[in-house]
Structure 1
């Protein structure tokens, strides 16, 4: 039995654990890319350095959005094609995806460097924060190709049934980033420039590892290098259709971060931006395991949906949703029991940052216990090749609810309203998710009954 066929035959829970645990470990380590940067910058540079990284973050999210459009879209299509037994088409999708990733990375790097200062001013960088933001982003943009290839192709490695290899990619990048951060920031005193150099050098190492996996012939799917520049419009449409949901979610996160930063600056100044940077770092550590669960569940969902094994699809979702809920509740308890210790990681010497950071953590994460279900729900529809529903769930939290709340609540409650917008959006988006998933479960039940009846019908 090949690695792909296991997705349709092995027991769901052990299979999900086999795929998710490496992804969870990898995503937790991946979180260190941003979190470790902020910890070292917060302690080695100070609140202005943290604010600089936060103002750059929406730009980095736009860059990542296009990578996710191709990487996650191609991964879902490849999983479905393998489930359908169409291996040749899956290999063609893999080659086209790599070509698209290279184009996107080079275009993003060029545009970013040409319009660096105007974009940073648009982001709201003050005169005090601008030098830090400029130093960081100008270096990060040069690593666009490294990030696109390593992140994009790594998801496709997982789709082929090799989660351990995919986990190793993230471990290599994040561990090297942590070591280089310590050397460049604390040892050499390079400040935010050191954080940026550490990040792109770590991404380059990850890219080398991913490409070596294909060059050594270890992959389940063959990468036809000659087909990489021969991008086919029909394949691009397939990738974009399914990849649109994570793309929209990431793009929405960029817009939301931009609006958030403007509101924070208006109601709390650069210090408020720094405090929210601490919240986002903790939030990332809590949510990254959920993305790992999603990555582990996606090939199982896609394969079994393509193979018309709908009962296995429903079981996979229930296990994934249960695991995600357990993870976010553990994270929530940590923020309630040890808030001071967590915030102090990012600069305990600054009393004002500590006070405002604690206030933000206690408010923003009130509805954290229900967020896991919402995130898994959006991935559920993406894995099934239903981009419209996936897009609705992806956008509901960050666009349809959060952005309007960021405009409305601060008008009445100031900075407290900015913080309160997050739990309000989390609660509303979860309600929408439960409704759509319930309906889809009913549809899958009917489809399974029809499939079983067709199998039992005498020939």
Structure 2
């Protein structure tokens, strides 16, 4: 209980870094192994392998979306319950989260595998790409149960006040993936299947790690058999808060499909391979911000539940400043080293040229994304799911999809690249409007 109690008493600056640095380290390493995966695929399989992984990416986004529905939702509710000193309820949420993770992963795997080829073809897999995309996706789907357990319970590990152990989970998984990828691709000559197999095996180790932790004496919350039976009210509370990141991921999947089609039409397979690389670089640059928001979540959730609104505002302000610094540094690195970054993944001059140009445009609004991520995450952390959903959906559905459908017809390939930064800017402005009103309400509640 002492770990969670510190959330309401320790100095905010020290607490934010104490929770964020392990999360940032874990998330950056996690993104780094995705980058390394792409480097190995790009050199070991070629641009057709990069295109195949990009085509399969919407399915992976959907899988992660359901994982976030449970993991993010459960961790936010756990933080709130611990802030209210309701440990027994927090343990029930943990048990229900595990059951939901298993049920969702099995259902999705069976459903998608039954229609895998038609799904991949509808996502844009042409005849040459389809076998590669099929081999990769099959293995990812079969092993997705490990991702659900590892990701979902790891979020709760952080929420109960143990960010270092949560970081260790990610580091173990990422480190193993980085080791296995070149082994399977270059030594065992398993091609793109080797990359998928490395991912699944590393996620399997991560799942076992978190399960052992919650059965051990080191955890505040314990996995108990009686808490595995689903409780209607708990499931509703998890889904209510987890719905925002879930819908954001589903919308992101739709956006990715439309984007891939647009890139195929206006830039061909090289443009599709390029966006696969760009997305991984973007994730690497954004992971410090996501790690910061993950570290912030239990601090805000606990103190909001305990009605310590002054601490909530201070933590939020500090996180916004830090996120803006991180995102601006990422922007500068991309603008200065665009060609060198693309050359890490492939040595084809045409791919490098298209990718470097696209990356500069696609990520030109990176400096404002840090603020938007932290702002949207605030509403999630305090249980105001409606606001979080509106902010998430405003970027993906209201802004980005129409822009992807309209701009390429006017500006060609440049129009496709421009859709994302325009949506980022408008979404950040909307987040600022919502957040300023919310902070005003906190001031009144504090009085």
Q: Are 1:172 and 2:165 an aligned pair? A: no
- The alignment's TM-score, normalised by the length of structure 2, stands at 0.99
- Normalising by structure 1, what TM-score? 0.96
Counterpart contact for 2:339–2:353, Cα < 8 Å? no
1:32, distance to aligned residue in structure 2 (A): 3.0
**Alignment partner for residue 414 of structure 1, among 398, 412, 415?**
412
The CA deviation at 1:37 is 1.6
Determine the C-alpha separation between the residues in 2 that align with 1:77 and 1:195: 35
Contact preservation (8 Å) 1:301, 1:316: yes
Q: CA deviation at 1:250?
A: 1.0
> Deviations for 1:257-313, whole angstroms, at most 9, x for unmatched residues?
111111111111211100111111110100111110011000000000000011111
Q: Give the corresponding residue for 1:71.
A: 71
For residues 288 and 55 of structure 1, what CA distance do their matches in structure 2 show?
22
Structure 2 counterparts to residues 88-127 of structure 1, below 5 A: 88-127=88-127
Distance in 2 separating the partners of 1:398 and 1:218: 40
For 1:260, the equivalent position in structure 2 comes to: 259
CA distance in 2, matches of 1:333, 1:33: 22
Q: CA deviation at 1:33?
A: 4.0
2:386 equivalent among 368, 388, 393:
388
Q: CA RMSD in A?
A: 0.9
1:260-409 alignment to 2 at 5 Å? 260-347=259-346, 349-409=347-407
Distance 2:222 2:180 in 1: 34
Contact conserved, 1:108 with 1:144, CA < 8 A, in 2? Answer: no
* Aligned length in residues: 447
Q: Over residues 232-277 of structure 1, what are the superposed CA-to-partner deviations in whole Å (9 max), with x where a residue is unaligned?
A: 1111111111111111111111111111111111111211100111
**Farther off after superposition, 49-58 or 30-39:** 30-39
Q: Which runs of 5+ in 2 are unaligned?
A: none
Shift of 1:29: 1.1
Matches within 5 A, 1:128-167: 128-167=128-167
Deviates more, 1:287-296 or 1:263-272: 263-272
- Which residue does the alignment assign to 1:215? 215
Counterpart for residue 234 of structure 2: 235
Unaligned runs of 5+ in 1: 450-459
- Once superposed, which parts of structure 1, at least 4 consecutive aligned residues long, lie more than 3 Å away? none
Report the alpha carbon displacement of residue 216 of structure 1 after superposing the two structures with TM.
2.0
Equivalence for 1:52: 52
Secondary structure at 1:125's aligned position in 2? coil
Q: CA deviation at 1:144?
A: 1.0
Deviations 1:401-451 (A, max 9, x none): 1111001101101111000111111110010010000000000000001xx
